[in-house]
Amino acid sequence: MKPLLLVKRLVEKAQLDKEFAIRKAEILIVNRDFDDAKVQSSKLYSLWLDNPKMLFRLSSMQQIVDDYEGANNRLLKALTYLPKNLTLNLKYAKLNLQLNENQIAQHVMNKMEKHMIKIPIFYS
């Protein structure tokens, strides 16, 4: 087998493994098997460590299984890649409000306000 073909097949297998891991976590959540879903989410984190979109998705999954610390950490990691992303910041602020971390939530909201583009229609 040619090396390039071998690499291509390994990449395809890796993608299938990622899809399997995602689906397994979703099935565990639907079946309310939260303990196993938490274990699976740890595996997903290692797959998605450098992907803010998937870290956001993982954070949502972790909130469903009441793993708020994990969800918080995933959002923080995603924010290292996209610190001005409005959706990530809002979710992070909301989660911190739920955790009664009001000072953190307020800090995030203040930071967002500084970075928001002021749309003239809202300020006229």
Q: Are 61 and 42 in contact (CB under 8 A)?
A: no
Query: How much is the pTM?
Result: 0.72
Render pLDDT for 64-100 as a digit per residue (tens, 0 to 9).
Answer: 888 898 899 999 999 999 988 888 999 999 999 998 8
Work out the end-to-end distance of the chain between its first and last CA atoms, rounded to an integer number of angstroms. Answer: 67
Q: Say how far apart CA 124 and CA 50 lie, in whole Å.
A: 40
**Alpha helices in the chain, H assignment, sequence order:** 3-30, 34-48, 52-64, 68-81, 86-98, 102-115, 120-123
Encode pLDDT of 25-76 as tens digits. 888 888 887 888 888 888 888 888 889 998 998 898 888 888 898 899 999 9
